[in-house]
Amino acid sequence: MNNPSQIGGRRQGKGNAPKLSKQARQAVLKRTLKTYLWPFKFQLAGILVLMLTANVLALIGPKLSGNAIDALAEGPDMDKVIYFCVLMALFYLIAGVLNLIVSRLMIRISQKITYAMRRDVFAKLMQLPVSFFDKHLTGDIVSHISYDIDTINASLSNDLLQVCASSVTVIGSFIMMIIISPVLVSVFLITVPISLISTRYRTRKIRPLFSKRSAKLGELNGYAEEMLSGQKTIKTYHREEQILSRFDIRNEEAVQAYYKADYKAVIIGPTVNFINNLSLALVTILGSAFYMGTLAVAGWPALLTIGLGDVASFVQYSRKFAGPINEFANITNEIQSAMAAADRVYRILDEITEPEDAPDASELTEPRGAVDIENVSFGYLPDRTIIHDLNLHVEPGQTIAIVGPTGAGKTTIINLLMRFYDVDSGEIRMDGYPIKQLTRRSMRLAYNMVLQDTWLFCGSVRDNILYGRPDASDEEIRAAAKAARIDNFIESLPNGYETELSDDGINISKGQKQMLTFARAMLSTAPLLILDEATSNVDSRTEIAVREAMDNLMAEKTCFIIAHRLSTIQHADKILVVRHGNVVESGTHQELMARPSFYRVLYYSQFQE
Amino acid sequence: MRHIFRYMRPYAPVVAWCLFFKIIGTLVELAIPFVLQHMLKVVAPQNDLKQIIYWGSLMILFAAAALVFNIVGNRLASRVARDGARSVRHDLFAKTMLLSCRDVDRFSIPSLESRLTTDTYNVHQFMGMTLRIGIRCPILLVGGLLFTFILDPVLTLILLSVMPLIFITVYFVTTRGVRAYLKAQRSVDGMVRVAREDCQGIRVIKALSRTEHENERYDRANRTLVRDEMRASLIMATSNPVITFFVNLGMVLVILFGAVRTSMDLSSPPTIIAFMQFFMMISNAMIAITRVFVNSTKAAASMNRIQEVIQADEDCPTAPEGAYPDFVSATGEMPHIRFENVSFSYLGAKPQVADLSFDLYHGETLGIIGSTGSGKTTVVNLLMRFYDPDKGAIYLDGKDLRNLDSETVHSRFGAAMQNDFLFADTVSENIKFGRDMTDEAVQSAATIAQADEFIRAFPEGYEHLLAIKGQNVSGGQKQRILVARALAGRPEILILDDSSSALDYQTEAQMRTAIRSMDNHPTTVIVAQRISAIKDANLILVMENGEVIGAGKHKDLLNTCSVYREIAESQMGDGEGGELHE
């Protein structure tokens, strides 16, 4: 039986899988075997035995049916027929049960492996330095942990089994056919080449058309999404007709690409049927001729002798034999995709993690909040220095403001302070200890921060607020929310503090998100505070309201403030003006305003006519 | 389902040809086992090689004919699917462009997107599939049963008894499996969400040393996903072995009962061999037909979602002349824009705008300021008639907006809206926005919008290609391009909704001066959070919770409206605000 049903269908190959070099393939294979498959070696061996048994049993079936038909033609000999039929039913039943067990076991194993891979990749991500996330798009990272691992999973649970089963079937049927009639096997001299040609045609001609089809469809979808988001604008300018005609052009391209791919692809089904029918016809012709000879010609050569039962079983074997050959191209493509996916996953696992804390690193206990920056230079790229020879001494409790145009390197200073990046030269000290000599954990916990990119996760409002201090009590959470002027809003939510924040759930504005991160910061007792454009999402009215809260938050803490609105930083103890990566000016607001400074230019431009 | 076929109806002649080719192709294929039976039973015992070759050639001919006819039929099917899908997608997109803003809100943009993409794709796929497999399989089934009935009616009964088993297995496994996969898909989303969140929040996570906690959180999502995916795979995995067993069992039964019939001289071994071939063909058809069946429920659901949109009401209709009375000015001076006791709410609950009235004369500027969610943008939405007010009326040159055709209304406006969109095309095209205008007009608009300078700094100047949503330009540049778009049509009324917030104060001031010196003196509505953007307006509305809590000129408001004063002080520097702003 030629696998009558492949439910769910083949995964649609998106064009040819990118090919890895032979060495890379071997490395990937070896690593997968060693890391992920080896722990299951006994189960896998067991599965292999079960699968072989099932396939051999299924292979005997057609031969038995031939025997039954021969017995039938001889008389009929009912006892023999019944004997063969019962045997057949039994074999098929056992084969079916075994196959069921095999695929279930294999699914379990592949899911365990998938679980382990995802866990490993994620754990690795958590260890990677911040620079990794700055360099890679989130979408790309996510696609490794979802799409790539999925591809590997599908290949493990499906292809691995199918390759083994198909090899057994192809070899087994071939042997059986040779046993039945070596001469009839010559039929495949005609059909197998046709199969191979059609397979090649599929990989060479049709796959690229399918990639083009997905690409065109992607373009169309992109266009539709883009225009939908601008629907109001289109209405405003009454451009519906123009947009529709442009959409139609892309629609036309998409449906044509679909059609072109289909035009070639719809050949496959009929071709597979044709090959089956052709071999049936050829077997019938030769079979009839030999059968005729066997019946009528005395001294007919034994090699060409054939019974009706033989014809029947031969036809069945020929179908079994042809099936996997037609599938061969798909499977190899899938395995190649899986290998390429595994390669990408392993690349992440091989990324260099944040270096370990120094072996003699000490814990920063009871930090006071003094910071010294001494002769620090830094660049994200080796040859592009962004911070040049920066010096700064900060007493506990002081407020330092960093101002300057966008892209001047303000956030870079924060990155260095928190040791998201290590300095190229110079040294940063906290309470007198070089931060490289401190454990990252204790050093970072001395900081509290509110960033411009508000980060909230899907979870309850409460969970989001207490993120930095999981042991905070309900009263503390409420107090923090109140201080951040967000308590009224939270209580107006359907479930108050238990309301789940999600992408598509309740409507929450950017400003409100920012206030929640303020509330989160309010819970912290860390002696240092970083505010990176923390109020840029909050409108002025609200900013006035949180000003008091911010003042509370900043009290008795060493603060680093990055701000757009210069009004928020006038009371800083020191203002650093950053321009093109250099600190060009520093001093208090009064000092900087007193002389002709870049700061003064910036300041007055706020009010200029 | 009805609607899917409605879209295929215009191609009835092609469908007819497709049917013709598929039917012939399928019938000749069905004839092959019939010839096989004839050869083994009748021809072979005649001891005539010529006859064998003759009949054998006929088989090969049939096989070749089946190949050709099926390919031609399939291609015609693809053609119909292409044309049908094209018009479904065209109609749907055309309709989404005309939907009223209320309906867009109701459907939501992501949902409209998925209807345009996934759902139309499903329908396209289904159209092709029905014509290719949906025709072939019933013929194989009915034709096959007919042929087997001629061969041996009693054995046909065995076939008929096994078929329902296959149908039931495939149907239940697939539908349950699909459901399980949908659930697993949601778990995938959950897992991806955690990964995505953590990539974005890595700084916070590391700063708070919460990586352990994140590992645990991810582990929960990972476990849920593995559980759901396993369940789905296990369901799907049952179908193959079970169906294979049923088909094989059917074969065994055919042989067994065939033997009984042969012993009674009612059948013969060649008949049984042919029967086995038919059996194979018919069970494959059965499996395929069940899949079409399962697929059809998916496609029908998709088509319903598409129809929901297509059948939705059109944009706010234009009321017949005189349905709403014109505004008659007592003073004789006609306001360009007049709001009269206007109230509105998006969802019929809390009003976003309550009892709003104001007059704005030709060439004047209206400034609207207030915190997020105070109803500023709603005023603009009402003015542009994206929504009709629940109460009150809006007049344009004395005419009630509802009496005016929306195209004529919109043609008088130029608007740069908050979060407005730029699309992947050249800067010049983004400014023109499909309107017929000269390059000079584009450049002069860009100059006024303070955009000319940075546009010229691009290597390709005005031909510089923008990325989707203008991701390759800064926020301030985006806003200036949008303002240029609004200005390029030389509108009678200019609307700037929060369209200078990303500009530095200097550039903003220059833009305002340039707009004020335009020779056609547009009436201007500026929505802003910055005092500097609106302080020269003829009328400033200070809004809070949908209500106007202050109205007047900058100087008056500083004295009369405490909220306004607070905002001004916060933006002009503490204590110094009063003096510094001049």
Q: Is B133:B292 a contact under the CB 8 Å cutoff?
A: yes
Residues A376 and A428 both lie in one domain: yes
In the prediction, which pLDDT does B577 show? 35
In the prediction, which pLDDT does A537 show? 65
Residues A66 and A128 both lie in one domain: yes
Q: What is the dihedral of CA B123, B127, B128, B130, to 10 degrees?
A: 120
d(CA B276, CA B282): 10
Q: Is B54:B291 a contact under the CB 8 Å cutoff?
A: no
- What are the chain B neighbours of A238 within 8 Å (beta carbons)? 407, 410-411
d(CA B270, CA B476): 83
Q: Quick check: B572 pLDDT over 70?
A: no
Residues A84 and A148 both lie in one domain: yes
* CATH number of the structural domain spanning residue A339: 1.20.1560.10
In the prediction, which pLDDT does A567 show? 67
B462 reaches A (C-beta below 8 A) = no
In the prediction, which pLDDT does A565 show? 66
- Domains in chain A, number: 2
Q: Quick check: A461 pLDDT over 50?
A: yes
Q: What is the pLDDT of residues B403-430, one digit of tens each?
A: 888 777 888 888 888 767 788 889 998 8
A149 reaches B (C-beta below 8 A) = no
Mutate to test the interface with B, among A47, A72, A128, A354 (most CBs of B within 10 A): A72
Residue A161 forms part of a structural domain: yes
pLDDT band at A6 (very low <50, low <70, confident <90, very high): very low
Mean of pLDDT values over B522-537: 87
CB-based contact B241 A509, cutoff 8 Å: no
Mean of pLDDT values over A337-362: 87
In the prediction, which pLDDT does B158 show? 84
Mean of pLDDT values over A566-573: 77
In the prediction, which pLDDT does A584 show? 83
Residues A54 and A138 both lie in one domain: yes
Fold assignment, B337-412+493-580: Rossmann fold (3.40.50)
Residue A193 forms part of a structural domain: no
Residues spanned by the domain of A396? 356-446+560-609
In the prediction, which pLDDT does A18 show? 54
Token couple for A135:
């360099």
In the prediction, which pLDDT does A7 show? 32
Cα-only R_g, chain A: 36
Identity of the residue in A72, A111, A242 whose CB atom sits nearest the CB atom of B230: A111
Q: Tell me: cis bond preceding A76? Omega within 30 of 0 counts.
A: yes
Q: Do domains B2-152+267-310 and B337-412+493-580 have the same CATH topology?
A: no
In the prediction, which pLDDT does B173 show? 86
In the prediction, which pLDDT does A406 show? 60
Mean of pLDDT values over A246-252: 92
Residue A518 forms part of a structural domain: no
CB-based contacts of A124-128 (< 8 A; 24+ apart in sequence): A124/A348, A124/A349, A124/A351, A124/A353, A125/A348, A125/B195, A125/B198, A125/B199, A126/B198, A126/B205, A126/B211, A126/B214, A126/B215, A127/A353, A127/A354, A127/B211, A128/A351, A128/A353, A128/A354
* CATH number of the structural domain spanning residue A581: 3.40.50.300
Mean of pLDDT values over B187-205: 87
CB-based contact B192 A146, cutoff 8 Å: yes
In the prediction, which pLDDT does A536 show? 67
CB-based contact B81 A262, cutoff 8 Å: yes
In the prediction, which pLDDT does B448 show? 92
Q: Quick check: B473 pLDDT over 50?
A: yes
Q: What is the pLDDT of residues A89-146, one digit of tens each?
A: 999 999 999 999 999 999 999 999 999 999 999 999 998 988 888 888 888 888 888 8
In the prediction, which pLDDT does B315 show? 64
Token couple for B385:
């008639």
Nearest to B35 by CA among A288, A181, A275, A310: A288
Q: Quick check: B126 pLDDT over 60?
A: yes
Residues A347 and A392 both lie in one domain: no
In the prediction, which pLDDT does A564 show? 65
What is the residue-wise DSSP string for A81-118? HHHHHHHHHHHHHHHHHHHHHHHHHHHHHHHHHHHHHH
Residue with tokens 């309550």: B354
**Chain centroid, CA A83 distance in Å:** 55
Q: What is the pLDDT of residues A9-52, one digit of tens each?
A: 333 333 444 567 888 888 888 898 888 999 999 999 999 999 99
Residue A482 forms part of a structural domain: no
In the prediction, which pLDDT does A47 show? 93
Q: What is the pLDDT of residues B359-398, one digit of tens each?
A: 999 989 999 988 766 778 888 888 988 888 888 999 998 8
Residues A360 and A350 both lie in one domain: no
State the nearest Cα–Cα gap between A542 and chain B, in angstroms.
7
- CATH number, domain B2-152+267-310: 1.20.1560.10
Q: Parse chain B into domains and list their residue ranges.
A: 2-152+267-310, 337-412+493-580, 423-477+486-490
In the prediction, which pLDDT does B512 show? 86
In the prediction, which pLDDT does B201 show? 85
Residue A430 forms part of a structural domain: yes
- pLDDT above 90 covers a percentage of chain A that reads 20
Q: What is the pLDDT of residues A158-200, one digit of tens each?
A: 888 888 888 888 999 999 999 888 888 888 888 888 888 888 8
Residues A65 and A168 both lie in one domain: yes
Residue environment code for B249-285, b if the CB has 16+ CB neighbours within 10 A, otherwise e: bbbbbbbbbbbbbbeeeebbbbbbbbbbbbbbbbbbb
Mean of pLDDT values over A227-248: 84
CA angle A526/A530/A531 to nearest 5° reads: 130
pLDDT band at B578 (very low <50, low <70, confident <90, very high): very low
Mutate to test the interface with B, among A3, A5, A311, A438 (most CBs of B within 10 A): A5
In the prediction, which pLDDT does A556 show? 82
In the prediction, which pLDDT does A95 show? 93
Residues A55 and A78 both lie in one domain: yes
Residues A144 and A51 both lie in one domain: yes
Nearest CA in chain B to A354: B206
Rounded to the nearest integer, the mean pLDDT of chain A is: 83
Residues A342 and A426 both lie in one domain: no
In the prediction, which pLDDT does B333 show? 82
In the prediction, which pLDDT does A475 show? 92
Q: Which of residues 180-219 of B touch A (CB under 8 A)?
A: 188, 191-211, 213-215, 218-219
Identity of the residue in B237, B243, B563 whose CB atom sits nearest the CB atom of A103: B237
* Between A401 and A324, the higher pLDDT residue: A401
Q: Which of residues 426-445 of A touch B (CB under 8 A)?
A: 440-441, 444-445
Q: Which of residues 546-585 of A touch B (CB under 8 A)?
A: 547, 565-567, 570
A504 reaches B (C-beta below 8 A) = yes
- pLDDT above 70 covers a percentage of chain B that reads 96
Mutate to test the interface with B, among A2, A364, A568, A606 (most CBs of B within 10 A): A606
Residues A77 and A144 both lie in one domain: yes
